[in-house]
Amino acid sequence: MTPNILIVEAPFYPHISRLLMAGATEALHAAGAEYDSVAVPGALEIPPAIGFAVKGGGHGGRSYDGYVALGCVIRGETFHFDIVATQSARALTDLGVNYGLCIGNGILTVENEEQALVRADPARANKGAGAVNACLALIELKYRMGPHRER
């Protein structure tokens, strides 16, 4: 089975997003997966976009086996960071638990740009690839545990 993945990217910090996307697409190519990508304004918009893809039958009529969320939230001077970091993670978890979706969460939640660059860089922490690998692992687990498994 060739997995079909939708990447939902929030390029609020384009230079960080490019690194996350490079790591993610490299991991998808290595796994032999097919993928589409869409961009949304920020991390809070990623979960609704995944929901739209599920309810609308996918992007361009395609359905997906899994989803990869990519973005970055950097702590600022206000409480906004806490809201965005917490609520985007909660919404992705809710989608996974309540609807059985296989979602790799690659939304970085960091204190500063330096931390984000280390985590996003494919040559260092490579969290874009990490999100893809989490998504693919969940797809494999769902397939093994689902009603269509061999008995």
- Tell me which residues are annotated as active site: 80
Helix, strand, coil proportions of the chain in percent (round to 5)? 55, 20, 25
Neighbours of 139 (CB within 10 A): 21
Where would I find the H helices in the chain? Answer: 14-31, 46-55, 80-99, 113-120, 127-145
Overall size of the chain counted in residues? 151
Angle between helices 113-120 and 127-145 in degrees, nearest 10: 50
